[in-house]
């Protein structure tokens, strides 16, 4: 199901204007400065939004470094293509894991490269960043994220909870005292959150998302056919053919080439979509349990709001075919898929930067 807003709320790249409930004055004096940026530093992808220019950068959160000299060989999509295609001393890694920084130095180098690319050398001032942050991050993880952004060249950093940014980016009227349930299925984490009056009132973050879907496909092929495939291949199979539900198309054959575990030789393999559905059932089930946990414990008033408004799915995982039907059948609630799930957080961060929203600031440093 596609999320349909009433004509007056029509989703658009023009930031929606709401009367804010929370005072967040610090951003407003800066909004005229065009070198300020909204950033979604995700486990899989980093996106940057520049006011008046829209999304100016969308790159894989990947960096390739020479381990002896510690110099970056490639950053972003180019580095991602090197994954599984290099040998020592070049190491390809993703410095953000499960929504938080796993390698501080590499994150800082990668972010610095992205910020410079986004600014295209046109700005002499260091930018001020509104940066999405996992709502499950600890204070130490938030400090590390802020510090990495400052070291990467930011003048000032404001962190906002990703579900809040995503809800704003999607166009949900979260500043009203009504509950909204948003599920952000990213690469590393699935964040299920209830957002009300611009704040996260309850949330659950689990390390089960797109990467686990890829791994589930790899594990299935290895166990069933003794064939191993790489992460990039698994991801591309998931994106092209993955499904969360039964459908008539599940018999469609999918051809691939992997390595036979026994012989070590290349092996051609044909599977069907139904098998992919089976392979993905375990991580999907864990996402379902997380959602049910939240629904069971929230206040009945919020449940009433959510029953009226439905559940909003966002993040790249929301693009998995049939995931809306899967969650709808599980919860018997209306389920909507964001119009632009990969962009929700960065658009929300950008709209906050422009001063059209004043959500709760979860961390601020200059």
Ligand X SMILES: Nc1ncnc2c1ncn2[C@@H]1O[C@H](COP(=O)(O)OP(=O)(O)OP(=O)(O)O)[C@@H](O)[C@H]1O
Q: How far apart are CA 342 and CA 192, in angstroms?
A: 16
**Long-range interactions of 301-307: CB distance < 8 A, separation 24+:** 301/179, 302/179, 302/194, 302/196, 302/201, 303/179, 305/178, 305/179, 305/180, 305/196, 306/179, 306/180, 306/181, 306/194, 306/333, 307/333
List the one residue from 16, 186, 210, 341 that touches Mg ion (CB under 5 A).
Answer: 186
Query: Which among ligand X, Mg ion, none contacts residue 306 (Cβ within 5 to 8 A by kind)?
Result: none
Tell me whether residue 348 or residue 355 sits nearer to Mg ion (CB atom). Answer: 348
Smallest distance from ligand X to CB 82, Å: 18
Give the chain's end-to-end CA distance (angstroms, integer): 42
As a whole number of angstroms, the distance between CA 89 and CA 71 comes to 11
21 or 239, CB closer to ligand X?
239
45 binds, among ligand X, Mg ion, none (CB under 5 to 8 A by kind): ligand X
Site mask, ligand X, residues 334-353, x = CB under 6 A? --------x-----------
User: How far, in Å, CA of 332 to CA of 335, rounded?
Assistant: 9
- How crowded is residue 134: how many other Cβ atoms within 10 Å of its Cβ? 26
With CB under 6 A as the contact rule, which of the stretches 152-160, 315-323, 332-340, 354-362 interacts with ligand X?
Answer: 315-323
163 binds, among ligand X, Mg ion, none (CB under 5 to 8 A by kind): none
Q: 3 is written with which tokens?
A: 């999320």
- CA distances to 33, 132, 154, 270 from 157, in Å: 15, 10, 7, 49
**Which x/- pattern, by CB under 6 A, does the window 165-194 give for ligand X?**
---------------------xxxx-----
Q: Which of 118, 320, 335, 347 binds ligand X (CB under 6 A)?
A: 320
Query: Which residues neighbour 266 within 8 Å (Cβ) at sequence distance 6 or greater?
Result: 257, 258, 259, 260
Q: CA 358 to CA 123: how far, in whole Å? A: 26
Asked if 210 interacts with ligand X (CB under 6 A), we say: yes
By CB under 5 A, what part of segment 27-66 binds Mg ion? Answer: 42
Which positions from 28 to 67 touch ligand X by CB under 6 A, shown as an x/- string?
A: --------------xxxx----------------------
* Binding segment (CB under 6 A) for ligand X, from list 138-146, 203-211, 222-230, 246-254: 203-211
Name the residues that contact Mg ion, by CB under 5 A: 42, 186
Name the residues that contact ligand X, by CB under 6 A: 42-45, 99, 186-189, 209-211, 235, 238-239, 242, 315-317, 319-320, 342
């Amino acid at each position: 199901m596609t999320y349909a807003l009433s004509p007056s709320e029509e989703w658009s790249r023009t930031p929606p204007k709401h009367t804010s409930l929370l005072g967040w004055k610090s951003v407003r004096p800066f909004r005229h400065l065009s070198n300020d940026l909204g950033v979604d530093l995700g486990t899989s992808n980093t996106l940057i939004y520049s006011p008046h220019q829209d999304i100016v950068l969308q790159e894989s959160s990947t960096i390739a470094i020479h381990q002896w000299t510690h110099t970056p060989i490639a950053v972003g999509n180019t580095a991602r293509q090197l994954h599984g295609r290099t040998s020592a001393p070049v190491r390809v890694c993703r410095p953000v894991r499960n929504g938080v920084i796993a390698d501080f130095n590499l994150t800082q180098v990668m972010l610095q490269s992205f910020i410079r690319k986004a600014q295209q050398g046109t700005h002499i001032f260091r930018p001020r960043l509104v940066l999405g942050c996992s709502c499950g991050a600890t204070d130490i993880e938030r400090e590390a994220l802020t510090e990495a952004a400052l070291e990467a060249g930011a003048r000032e950093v404001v962190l906002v909870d990703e579900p809040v940014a995503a809800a704003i980016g999607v166009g949900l009227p979260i500043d009203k005292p009504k509950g909204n349930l948003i599920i952000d299925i990213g690469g590393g984490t699935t964040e299920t959150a209830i957002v009300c009056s611009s704040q996260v009132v309850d949330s659950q973050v689990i390390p089960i998302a797109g990467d686990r879907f890829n791994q589930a496909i790899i594990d299935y092929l290895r166990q069933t056919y003794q064939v191993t495939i790489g992460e990039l291949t698994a991801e591309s199979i998931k994106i092209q053919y993955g499904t969360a539900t039964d459908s008539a198309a599940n018999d469609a054959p999918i051809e691939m080439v992997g390595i036979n575990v026994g012989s070590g030789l290349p092996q051609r393999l044909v599977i069907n979509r139904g098998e992919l559905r089976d392979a993905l059932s375990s991580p999907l089930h864990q996402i379902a349990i997380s959602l049910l946990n939240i629904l069971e414990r929230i206040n009945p008033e919020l449940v009433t709001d959510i029953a009226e408004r439905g559940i909003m799915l966002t993040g790249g995982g929301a693009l998995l075919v049939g995931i809306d039907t899967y969650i709808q059948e599980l919860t018997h609630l209306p389920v909507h898929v964001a119009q632009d799930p990969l962009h929700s957080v960065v658009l929300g961060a950008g709209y906050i930067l422009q001063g059209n929203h004043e959500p709760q600031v979860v961390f601020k440093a200059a």
